[in-house]
Structure 1
Amino acid sequence: MIWFLEGQSSQRDIILGAREALPADVKIYASHRDDRPEITAGADVSFKEPRGAEERIAWVISTAKAHDIKVVLVGRQGGIFEQARHRFEEAGLVLVTGGMSMRTFDLVDDKSKFTAEAERAGLACVPAITASNAEEMFAAYETLSASGEVCVKPAVGIYGQGFWRFKADADPFRSFADPDARVANFTTYMHAYSAGANPPPMLVMPYMAGNECSVDMVCEAGKVVAFVGRRKTGVHQIFQREGAAVELAIKAAEHFQCDGIVNVQTKDDAEGNPHLLEINPRYSGGVGYTRETGVNLAGFFATRRLGLPEPTTIWRPNVRVKGITVAVVASY
């Protein structure tokens, strides 16, 4: 038996991929802290999780034991569960958090630590200067803007929240009129950043004009066993299994000792050379797209963790996908 705890909305795709690969007599359990039947409906059994961290951990352990569940995959807040790993092991449960220890989370959650460790390990990454106040922000901008465009993102965060690209000729009002463009005037940004008493630490970086590659992968104790790279091209996504970006992502996941279904993002410079952006020790929002290539990552994860035959892989080249919104019945 296997249990998928609350994750991104792509938790639904993970459940469906696992169901496709697992024998019918293997039950799949799923849970969420909100009422999200459109996500968990594909599981054989679904639960609603408690809110509090301690209550949630205790409840997961007791519920897993009661239902004879063997493997528990954490979709969110892997670091919180990682701290309680010994409790799961004492209960005879296989806990998969995204990392092998707290070292993984300590290094990848804080982007400044991640950048420093990647550089130390010789992994090409987007260079960054950490700014913790307005003076440091301005100094970092002055240093980097001498060589080209500059961008900024929070030292800790997900989903690309807080990312802004600075353009000298940007209309000061543009960031309010068109926030999805993620383009801002630096002077306007600095006014807002300086206004707070305790501004958050930010990473100030050179902006790389190349394409992003998002590599979804299945890792086991720091070893990548299955993977698919995704690139956005306009409204579509295309896929790859080879290339410098994929190779860099795999090296990074193995160096940072990832474990589970994780995501590594890279960004190409103007010459097409990839640089690490970040590691997400959890499955991505777009992981479900990869199944269209013939590689069932969720199926690989579930079968291997349960000691069952892996799903057959037949790579489909030249696939393009586009996400669409559909209506589903959530209740009757």
Structure 2
Amino acid sequence: MIWFLEGQSSQRDVIAGARAALPDTVRIFASHRQNRPEITGLADVAWREPQDNQERIGWVIEQARARQIKVVLAGRVGQVYEAHRAEFEAAGLQLITGALDLETFERVDDKSTFTREALAAGLACIPAMTVSTQAELETAYAQLARDGQVCVKPTRGIYGQGFWRLADNVDPFRSFANADAHEVNAAVFAQAYGQSDAPQPLLVMPYMPGSECSVDMVCEAGEAVAYVGRRKQGLMQTFERDGAAVELAIKAARHFKCDGIVNVQTRDDAAGQPHLLEINLRYSGGIGYTREAGVNLPGIFAARRLGLPVPASTWRENVQVKAITVVVPVRGEELLR
């Protein structure tokens, strides 16, 4: 038995991948704090999780023991579960959080710490300066702008929230007129940052103009056992299983001893050389796309953790995908209470 706890909306794709790989005799459990049957409906059993993080720990352990569940995969709040790993192990449960200890979450989630450690380990990573005041931001920008475009992002966060490209020649109103462009006048941004009631630390770094590669991986104690790189090309995504970006992602996962279904993001410089952006110790929003490349990462993960035969992978060349919105019908009796 395997249990997929609340994750991103791609939790549905993870459940689908596991179901396609596991025998019908293996029951799949899924849960979510919100009323999301369109996500959890593919599981054999779906539950509504408690809202409080600490309450969830005891509840998950109790339910898992009662239902003879062997593997529990954390999703959205892996760090919370990692802090209670000893309790899961004492209950005879295999907890998968994306890391093997709580310290790894701190080293990865704080992008300032992650950048320093990655560079010290010899991993190609975008060099960055951490700032927490307007004066520090202006100094860092002036220094980096001499060599090219500059960008900023929070030291903590997901989904690219808070990412901006700074420049002196950007119309001061552009960030309001077209926020999706993520371009802002450097002086306007610095002034607003200085006037913030509680400015959060930022990373100031050179902007890499090349394409981004998102590498989805199944890892076991740092070793990548299966992986697929997704390169974003406009509205489409293509797949790759080798090359510099994938190799860099594998090295990064090994260094930080990633464990579970994780995601490593890289971005190419002007010469086409990849640099690490970040590691997400959870499955990505696009994990489901990788099955179109012929590799069922969630299925491989589930089968290996349960000691069952692993689904075969058949790589498909020259595949491009584009996400679309689909309708999932939900009957009233399926709504979780």
CA distance in 2: counterparts of 1:331 and 1:189, whole angstroms? 48
In the alignment, does 2:24 pair up with 1:24?
A: yes
- The match for 1:160 is 160
The alpha carbon displacement at 1:274 in A equals 0.5
The alpha carbon displacement at 1:50 in A equals 0.5
Structure 1 outlier segments of 4+, above 6 Å:
none
User: Which amino acid letter does the alignment assign opposite residue 234 of structure 2?
Assistant: G
Structure 2 unmatched runs, 5+ = 333-337
User: Which amino acid letter does the alignment assign opposite residue 134 of structure 1?
Assistant: Q
- The match for 1:261 is 261
The alpha carbon displacement at 1:258 in A equals 0.4
- The match for 2:101 is 101
SS in 1 for 2:259: strand
The alpha carbon displacement at 1:231 in A equals 0.6
Determine if contact 1:219/1:260 at 8 Å carries over to the other structure.
yes
- The match for 2:301 is 301
Match runs of 1:1-332 below 5 Å: 1-332=1-332
Structure 1 unmatched runs, 5+ = none
When normalised by structure 2's length, the TM-score is 0.97
Q: After the TM superposition, which of the residue ranges 298-307 and 321-330 deviates more from structure 2?
A: 321-330
The alpha carbon displacement at 1:102 in A equals 1.3
CA distance in 2: counterparts of 1:99 and 1:214, whole angstroms? 19
The alpha carbon displacement at 1:151 in A equals 0.1
Determine if contact 1:100/1:222 at 8 Å carries over to the other structure.
no
- The match for 2:335 is none
Amino-acid identity (%) = 64
Determine if contact 1:232/1:238 at 8 Å carries over to the other structure.
yes
Determine if contact 2:134/2:191 at 8 Å carries over to the other structure.
no
The alpha carbon displacement at 1:133 in A equals 1.1
RMSD: 0.7
SS in 2 for 1:205: strand
Aligned length: 332
Determine if contact 1:36/1:330 at 8 Å carries over to the other structure.
no
Deviations 1:163-219 (A, max 9, x none): 001132211111111111111111111121111132100000000101110000000
Determine if contact 2:129/2:205 at 8 Å carries over to the other structure.
yes
CA distance in 2: counterparts of 1:236 and 1:330, whole angstroms? 29
CA distance in 1: counterparts of 2:140 and 2:20, whole angstroms? 50
CA distance in 1: counterparts of 2:199 and 2:37, whole angstroms? 38
User: Which amino acid letter does the alignment assign opposite residue 24 of structure 1?
Assistant: D
The alpha carbon displacement at 1:48 in A equals 0.5
When normalised by structure 1's length, the TM-score is 0.99
CA distance in 2: counterparts of 1:204 and 1:22, whole angstroms? 45
The alpha carbon displacement at 1:107 in A equals 0.5
User: Which amino acid letter does the alignment assign opposite residue 58 of structure 2?
Assistant: A
Determine if contact 2:79/2:105 at 8 Å carries over to the other structure.
yes
The alpha carbon displacement at 1:25 in A equals 0.5
Deviations 1:247-300 (A, max 9, x none): 000100110010000000001000001000000000000010000011000000
The alpha carbon displacement at 1:331 in A equals 3.1
Determine if contact 2:31/2:47 at 8 Å carries over to the other structure.
yes
